[in-house]
């Protein structure tokens, strides 16, 4: 069976260009947490956007990702770091749904909605079970999700059609251009959204160099759904914030969960 996570992440550089900005304030937030914890396990680290800043903050970071190409780009990113920072990072190819390390951590983080790549309750529970096994007794698990905006979802579902095609153009080095066309389809019965991305690169003369299609599928998760899931998996909610500056939870923004063992 095809794994939708692996399908989307076939091209790590495209991912970096499309989604490498993350959510405003998240890097500083996770870096502060890492500084206090000193040892961190990061799941679905991607190309290391959050990994290396946490290491710069002084933490030893074990970072996992399912796709080797993502980790290769993360290592490339780390090549410019100084030796002490590089030595604090361990990059491992592993699945967030099934991993086993001989270590427990005072902090486990799942940044940038990565948990929402888990499309079934079983996958979510598998991931949380692994987190529970790797968290110290007083440790913290921090997960960032987007909160589904019901107004936008309702308007989209009422039409019964895929969302409008959007076009974003980015200038690259050497006068190359990257153009990304995207559209979104919703499945309310499964609480899933599927984005189709066509990524085309043009040279300085405007000739097409490459064109790739990526599919990204995410499951949206409601606040109280998550509370029940966490309780079912042996966690207690310590806090729910609506962003990375301590703001209260607000519908349609961010879900930033901090969990401890029950």
CATH 3.40.50.150 assigned to domain 4-148+221-261? The reply is: yes
**pLDDT mean over 118-138:** 98
- Low-confidence winner among 50-59, 143-152, 172-181 (lowest mean pLDDT): 172-181
- Residue 7: the pLDDT is 45
Among the residue ranges 15-24, 115-124, 225-234, the one predicted with the least confidence is 15-24
Q: How many other CB atoms sit within 10 Å of the CB of residue 9?
A: 23
Residues forming CATH 2.20.25.110 domain(s) in the chain: 150-218
pLDDT recorded at residue 151:
83
Mention every residue, 6+ apart, whose C-beta is less than 8 A from residue 105.
Answer: 37, 39, 40, 41, 62, 134, 135, 136, 139
pLDDT given for residue 217 in this prediction: 93
- What pLDDT shows up at residue 8? 43
Locate all alpha helices (DSSP H) within 160-240, ordered by sequence.
223-232
Distances (CA, A) of 160 to 8, 153, 157, 186, 187: 25, 11, 5, 9, 10
Strand 192-202, strand 208-219: pairing? antiparallel
Residues of the chain with CATH 3.40.50.150: 4-148+221-261
Share of the chain above pLDDT 90, in %: 70
Q: Which of 56, 64, 59, 54 is nearest to 39 (CA)?
A: 59
CATH number of 150-218: 2.20.25.110
Section 66-84 average pLDDT: 95
């Amino acid at each position: 069976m095809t794994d939708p996570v692996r399908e989307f992440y076939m091209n790590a550089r495209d991912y970096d260009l499309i989604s490498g900005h993350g959510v405003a304030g998240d890097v500083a937030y996770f870096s502060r947490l890492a500084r206090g914890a000193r040892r961190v396990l990061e799941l679905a680290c991607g190309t290391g956007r959050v990994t290396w800043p946490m290491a710069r903050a002084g933490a030893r970071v074990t970072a996992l990702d399912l796709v080797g190409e993502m980790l290769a780009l993360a290592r490339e990113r780390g090549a410019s770091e100084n030796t002490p920072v590089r030595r604090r990072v361990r990059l491992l190819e592993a699945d967030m749904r099934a991993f086993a390390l001989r270590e427990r951590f005072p902090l486990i983080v799942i940044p940038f909605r990565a948990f929402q790549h888990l499309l079934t309750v079983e996958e979510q529970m598998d991931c949380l079970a692994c987190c529970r096994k790797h968290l110290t007794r007083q440790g913290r698990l921090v997960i960032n999700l987007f909160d589904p905006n019901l107004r936008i979802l309702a308007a989209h579902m009422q039409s019964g059609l895929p969302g409008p095609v959007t076009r974003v153009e980015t200038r690259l080095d050497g006068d190359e251009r990257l153009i990304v066309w995207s559209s979104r389809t919703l499945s309310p019965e499964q609480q899933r959204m599927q984005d189709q991305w066509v990524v085309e690169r043009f040279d300085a003369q405007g000739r097409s160099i490459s064109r790739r299609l990526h599919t990204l599928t995410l499951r949206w998760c409601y606040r109280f759904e998550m509370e029940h899931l966490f309780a079912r998996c042996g966690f207690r909610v310590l806090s729910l914030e609506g962003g990375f500056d301590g703001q209260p939870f607000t519908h349609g923004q961010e879900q930033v969960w901090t969990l401890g063992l029950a």
